[in-house]
Structure 1
Amino acid sequence: MSLSLTGEYDCKLDPKGRLVLPAKVKAALPDAYANQLVLVRGLEPCLVLYPRSAWDVIQARVMALDEFNEEYRQFQRNFLRGVTEVELDNIGRFLLPGSMRRYAGLEKEAIIVGLGNRCELWDPARYDDYLIKDPGEFSKLAQKFVSLSPDTPGSPALSA
């Protein structure tokens, strides 16, 4: 199954810490997975929402690490702490646990960012801090990760 979660969505948290999953995000989930979501702490100060099928792949990779290696155990412990299965209510809301909201600095507003197989949930100010501001820097990353070598004839050069 190939997922295509894309876009940025401005959202508001209700007083109980619930967030409505945007309709376009929910529509991108296959019906079988629409109510099978997993919420984890991100590697940056955000939360990551995975459809169950994508989470199972990530979790298998993390659990395959050697538990007798101290660094692997530390990573597993920190990455897997607080993993929460999310249930959508009848209007598509889900609860963000208090410890998760505090980790991501989410209070009243959030930005949901679709990243293919997952969505990140950010505090709007923090999200802006983590975005690349320099178009030249962004262009260099695009060339490094997306395009062919600049020395290759016919290379699709990406520029800002």
Structure 2
Amino acid sequence: MSYLTGEFECKLDAKGRMMIPAGLKKQLPEAETEALVINRGLEKYLVIYTKKEWDKKLDELSKLNEYDRKSIQFVRYFTGGATTLVPDSAGRVLLPKNLQEYAGIGNDVVLTCMLNKIEVWDKKAHAEMVNNEPENFAELAEEVMGNKVRRMYE
């Protein structure tokens, strides 16, 4: 599996359309034939998945107990607002107005590749998030990854 990389600044036009940057488009060859899916993120940003990755998420969700209230609530909020994005002939995608409003997205956005998905941030909100990086990133890395990374000398 190959992962997405990069960070890209984009502008939305007056209709809410965004041109997919060339560097990102090269990493998403299936986007023109299979489309993309955009949805709310877990915080105030949006997430774009390839159709293949979105289907994997739906497969995970389909395994949850459909009679458990927390599972129902999670599925409802996770999938609510999900929209298929199909690039037009100029390579632009239309970001749904309701999702733009949810994430507080203005005309300037930042696309941040996160392994198998793309986060879509309002440029100012993205700058705030970056500026709130933990003071000691090494501690966070140790806490999150410490038990997952093979030791060099084992």
What is the TM-score with the length of structure 2 in the denominator? 0.88
Rounded Cα–Cα distance in structure 2 between residues aligned with 1:72 and 1:52: 23
**3-state SS, counterpart of residue 73 of structure 1:** helix
Aligned AA (1:47): L
Question: Which residue in 1 is equivalent to 2:102?
Answer: 103
Normalised by the size of structure 1, how large is the TM-score?
Answer: 0.85
Matched residue, 2:15: 16
Match of 1:112 in 2: 111
Cα distance in 2 between the residues matched to 1:101 and 1:86: 14
Distance 2:91 2:123 in 1: 21
Which residue, 31, 35, 43 being the options, matches 1:34? 31
Q: Deviation at 1:121?
A: 0.2
The residue that corresponds to 2:70 in the other structure is 71
Tell whether the 8 Å contact from 2:31 to 2:86 is kept in structure 1 after alignment: no
Amino acid in structure 1 at the alignment position of 2:45: C
Are 2:134 and 2:140, in contact at CA under 8 Å, matched by a contact in 1?
no
- Identity fraction in percent: 34
| 1:85-136 CA distance string (max 9 Å, x none) | 1000122210001100001111111000011111000012212333343441
C-alpha deviation, 1:25, in angstroms: 1.1
Aligned match of 2:61? 62
**Could you say what the CA RMSD is over the residues aligned between the two structures, in angstroms?**
1.9
Please give the per-residue CA displacement for 1:48-70, whole angstroms capped at 9, x wherever unaligned: 00011111111111122111000
- Structure 2 gaps of 5+ residues are none
Aligned residues: 149
Contact 2:7 2:111 in 1 (8 A): yes
2:95 and 2:123 map into 1 onto residues whose CA distance is 16
Q: Structure 1 unaligned runs (5+)?
A: 156-160
